[in-house]
Structure 1
Amino acid sequence: MKVVAFNGSPRKEGNTYEALKIVAEQLEKENIEVEIIHVGNKKILGCTACGSCFKTRDERCIINDEVNEWIQKMKEADGIILGSPVHFSAISSTMKSFLDRASYVSSANRGLYRNKVGAAVVAVRRAGGLPAFNQLINYITYAEMVMPTSNYWNVIYGQKPGEALQDDEGVQIMRILGKNMAWVMKLIELGEGKIEKPEPEKKIGMNFIR
């Protein structure tokens, strides 16, 4: 089994990376491969709402950059972890641009990440951790992923790179998340071929202006 984790921080090995690494270590102890991809230092354009992915339905965004590669990595993985620092009580702008486009392409192709195991982690200096965490969870629930939990919200504290490792509670949260994620992934693997996954339904869209 394999998990792909996305680091939305501009810092390659800052506190978001440390959080992802703690989760990854627990997964690797259960013989689950983990790849951490650095998103936050890339120049990723946001979704332009052109609708091309719904016309082509070829699992690609018309903007030809790293996002198309990451979409395929998410499709092929058994689990996905979304990690971001907190910028003005929200996830990083690059992470949002990536997730908006990856989610739209998924929707255009009958849900590329359905029934995968998805988790979110956030690193914060002081405040705004929960709003950013909730943002990441929105992408997970929209994609119909299965979400493991920890013993608290998945937020770890620290400012300078490495300071998050001094947050004993945050470290425990990430460690338990990794254990629970591995457990859920193994349950799903045991059920494959024995329990059928629900068929995807065509999404009903409506607004309230008549």
Structure 2
Amino acid sequence: MQKRMRFVAVNGSERPDGNTREVLAHAAELLAGHGIDLEVINLGELKLSGCGPCGDCNSRCEPCAVTGDDVPAVVDRMALADGIIWAAPVHGFGPATTMQAFIERAGVGYLRFQRPLTNKVGGVVVIGRRYSHTEVYNQLVANVLLNRMIMVGSGFPAILYGNHRGEALADTEGVEMLDRMLHRMVAMARLLAEHRELTGRDALATEYANERDDRWFARRYATVGQA
């Protein structure tokens, strides 16, 4: 018997009660109908340190030495999930600064060493007034793929237009795209779980999940300057 599935949504908005949170509340209700729990992590309520000035991120093979914020705990919670949703509003023609800071800090500091999100089902939803939605969406999709997650096509991107609170959920076409994405994420997560239960292994290869298993980066940078 399969365990109850759990998705994690990372809310990249710094606002405590805006459109992004409302959209994720809608997502939680839809997923609950599938018997899936959605944990929403609101980055605006957490302590996020900026990346430090050390500059050795491409040569070391251990997690970041910067400590004292909530990023490691968020990474741990994502690592236990079956699906991950990146959710961010558009601010200043890019993703909200909290989302950008988290992607940099989590990715460089932790995710790149073990790739713990490998083969989890990934999804992206973007909310904003009327500009740069696709640019932000494409950036977050690239990050999903960088972390070896699995995205399923669901038609048009889950992009919702709205400015003031409540307007995003009034975008009926955007909500439909979000719903399609969620339904297909659920189907894919269940398919992958069934495969693991039947075979005892992941459906997709995991041997390249961690590009630093063999200290490739350490060997590469050890030769710099020797030529």
Please classify the TM superposition score into its range, dividing by the shorter chain length. Answer: 0.7 to 0.9
8 Å CA contact 2:158–2:175 kept in 1: the answer is no
Greater Cα offset, 68-77 or 5-14: 5-14
Could you tell me which of 7, 13, 17 is aligned with 2:17? 13
Three-state SS of the structure 2 residue aligned to 1:192 is helix
| Corresponding position of 2:149 | 145
Equivalenced residues, count: 205
Q: Which amino acid aligns with 1:5?
A: A
CA deviations over 1:122-152 (Å, ceiling 9, x no partner): 1010111011111111110000001123321
Counterpart of 1:159 (choices 157, 160, 163) is 163
Query: Cα deviations across residues 62-109 of structure 1 (Å, max 9, x unaligned)?
Result: 332111110100111111111100012211111111111212211112
Cα deviation for residue 41 of structure 1 reads: 4.6
Counterpart in the other structure of 2:224: none
Structure 1 residues 117, 61: CA separation in 2 closer, same or farther (over 3 Å shift)?
Answer: farther
**Residue correspondence of structure 1 range 172-191 to structure 2 within 5 A:** 172-191=176-195
Question: Residue 87 of structure 1 corresponds to which residue in structure 2?
Answer: 91
Query: 1:97-136, aligned counterparts within 5 Å?
Result: 97-104=101-108, 105-109=110-114, 111-136=115-140
Superposition CA RMSD, Å: 2.4
Normalising by structure 1, report the TM-score: 0.87
Equivalent residue number for residue 200 of structure 1 = 207
Paired with 1:64 and 1:160, the residues of 2 have a C-alpha distance of 34
Larger Rg: 2
Shift, 1:49, TM fit: 6.2
Paired AA for residue 113 in structure 2 = A
Task: State the 1:43 CA deviation.
Answer: 4.7
State the alpha-carbon separation in 2 of the partners of residues 19 and 47 from structure 1. 29
Distance in 2 between residues matched to 1:102 and 1:137, nearest whole Å: 16
Tell me which of 70, 74, 87 is aligned to 1:70.
74
1:103–1:127 CA distance, 2 compared to 1 (3 A)? same
| C-alpha distance 67-181 of structure 1, shift in aligned 2 (>3 A) | same
Partners of 1:156 and 1:130 in 2: CA distance = 11
Contact 2:47 2:70 (C-alpha < 8 Å) held by counterparts? no
On the 8 A contact 1:106/1:112 being kept in 2, the answer is yes
What stretches of structure 1 of length at least 5 have no aligned partner? none
Q: Which structure 2 residue ranges, 5 or more long, are not aligned?
A: 222-226
Offset, 1:170: 0.8
